[in-house]
C-alpha cells in the first residue's frame, strides 16, 4: 500500500512539473497566461518592448500615460484582446471611433513600432494584446511606478466592438455607481477601481472632459461644489465656457509626469480634475477610506496597483487556438 502511495506521489509531482507556471493566473477555457510564455519562442520579446517604450518615453514623457491607457481601454471592451488597435475595414468598425477614444486615445504608432521589431525578431509569435500589457507595465515603471510580472499568452481578436467601447469604458462624468458597475462587470471590485484610478497620477485630460464642473455641474449654472474654488478659477483660465475643447490639463497638477500617490492627496484636497476622480472621496465612505490609505502610503498604493493591473490584464483573454496572432496590429490576418 505504501508503495502505491509513493508511486502516486511521484506521478503527481511529474504532472505539477509539466504544468505552466503562475497557475494563479489561469484562464478559463483553453489555456493559461503566465510570465514565461515567450521564454522559448521569443526570448528577447520583453527586452524589445521595453527598449522601444524607453526610447519613446524619453522623447515624450506623456506617452507613458497614453500607453497605459491603451491597455485599460482594450481590456474593458471584449477583454484584453487587442481589439482597440484594429482600424476600420469593410466588416470592422474601429473602437478608435468611440467617444472615449476619438481625438483622445494615442500611442498606436508606438505599438506599430514594437510589433515591427518583434516580427523581425520572431515572426508571427507575440500578440498585439500582449504588447499592450507589457507596454503598460514598462510605461508605469519608466514614470517611477511599480513593476510586476506580466502574465502572457493572450491572442488577438478578429473583431472590434464600437458599442462596447462606447458603453463599457468609464467616462469622466459617470456617477460613482455607474463607474463601479462598469468595473464589476469586468470582474473588478472597489479596491481595484480605486487603485487603478490612481493611474491618473500621470497623463492629461481635455477641457471638454471636465468643463461642466467649472460652469454647470448639476444643470443650475453653478460650478461643482466638490471642486476647490481656487483650483477651479485656475482651470477656467484655459478652459472657457466655449472653445478650447482640446486644451490639455494635467490629471495630477503636483507631479504630472511622475507615478506616485499625489493623485490621492489631490482628491483629499478636492483638487481632482475629473468628476470621476473626485467621486472616489465624495460618494462612498469605503472608497474614501481607500483614498486615505493610498494617500498615506505610496508603498501600499504601488502594491495594490500592481495586483489590480495583473487582475485587469487577465480579463477574458483569448488563449490556445482562439483568435490569432496578428502580423499587423491594425488589421486581422488575411488567409
252 carries a ligand binding annotation = yes
The reply, when asked if residue 260 is annotated as ligand binding, is yes
Coil, strand or helix at 204: strand
Distances 300 to 187, 268, 290, 303, 305 between C-alpha atoms, Å: 22, 17, 10, 5, 9
201 annotated to a ligand binding site? yes
27 carries a ligand binding annotation: no
* DSSP-derived secondary structure letter, 248: E
Is 71 catalytic? The answer is no
83 is annotated as contributing to ligand binding: yes
- Among 208, 219, 222, 194, CA closest to 273: 208
- 228 a known binding residue? no
Q: Is 74 annotated as a binding residue?
A: yes
Structure-block grid coordinates of residue 211: 468643463
Cell representation of residue 46: 520583453
For residue 287, the tally of other CB atoms under 10 A from its CB is 22
- Tallying the residues shown for the chain, one arrives at 335
CB 136 within 8 A of CB 71: yes
77 labelled ligand-binding: yes
Q: Which of 3, 73, 124, 258 is catalytic?
A: 73
On whether 286 is known to bind a ligand per the annotation, the reply is no
Binding residues for heme b: 200
Q: Which residues are catalytic?
A: 73
Q: Which residues are annotated as a binding site?
A: 74, 77, 79, 81, 83, 95, 170, 200-201, 252, 255, 260
Residue set of the binding site for substrate: 170
Amino acid at each position: 500500500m505504501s508503495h502505491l502511495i509513493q508511486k502516486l506521489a511521484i506521478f503527481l509531482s511529474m504532472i505539477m512539473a509539466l504544468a505552466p507556471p503562475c497557475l494563479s493566473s489561469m484562464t478559463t477555457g483553453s489555456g493559461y497566461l503566465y510570465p514565461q510564455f515567450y521564454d522559448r519562442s521569443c526570448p528577447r520579446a520583453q527586452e524589445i518592448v521595453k527598449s522601444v517604450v524607453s526610447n519613446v518615453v524619453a522623447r515624450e514623457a506623456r506617452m507613458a500615460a497614453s500607453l497605459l491607457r491603451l491597455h485599460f481601454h482594450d481590456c474593458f471592451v471584449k477583454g484584453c484582446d487587442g481589439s482597440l488597435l484594429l482600424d476600420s475595414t469593410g466588416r470592422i468598425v474601429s473602437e478608435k471611433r468611440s467617444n472615449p477614444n476619438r481625438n483622445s486615445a494615442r500611442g498606436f504608432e508606438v505599438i506599430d513600432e514594437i510589433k515591427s521589431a518583434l516580427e523581425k525578431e520572431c515572426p508571427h509569435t507575440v500578440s498585439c494584446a500582449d504588447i499592450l500589457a507589457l507596454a503598460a507595465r514598462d510605461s508605469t515603471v519608466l514614470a517611477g511606478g511599480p513593476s510586476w510580472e506580466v502574465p502572457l499568452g493572450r491572442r488577438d481578436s478578429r473583431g472590434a466592438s464600437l458599442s462596447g467601447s462606447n458603453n463599457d469604458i468609464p467616462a469622466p462624468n459617470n456617477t460613482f455607481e455607474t463607474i463601479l458597475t462598469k468595473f464589476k462587470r469586468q470582474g473588478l471590485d472597489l479596491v481595484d477601481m480605486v487603485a487603478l484610478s490612481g493611474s491618473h497620477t500621470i497623463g492629461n485630460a481635455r477641457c471638454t472632459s471636465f468643463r461642466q464642473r467649472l460652469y454647470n455641474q448639476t444643470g443650475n449654472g453653478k460650478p461643482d461644489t466638490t471642486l476647490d474654488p481656487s483650483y477651479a478659477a485656475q482651470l477656467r483660465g484655459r478652459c472657457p465656457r466655449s472653445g478650447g475643447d482640446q486644451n490639455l490639463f494635467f490629471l495630477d497638477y503636483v507631479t504630472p509626469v511622475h507615478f506616485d500617490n499625489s493623485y490621492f492627496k489631490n482628491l483629499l484636497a478636492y483638487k481632482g480634475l475629473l468628476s470621476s476622480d473626485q467621486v472616489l472621496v465624495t460618494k462612498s465612505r469605503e472608497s474614501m477610506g481607500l483614498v486615505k490609505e493610498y494617500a498615506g502610503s505610496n508603498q501600499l498604493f504601488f502594491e495594490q496597483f500592481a495586483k489590480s493591473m495583473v487582475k485587469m490584464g487577465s480579463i477574458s483573454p483569448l488563449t490556445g487556438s482562439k483568435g490569432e496572432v496578428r502580423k499587423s496590429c491594425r488589421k486581422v490576418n488575411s488567409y
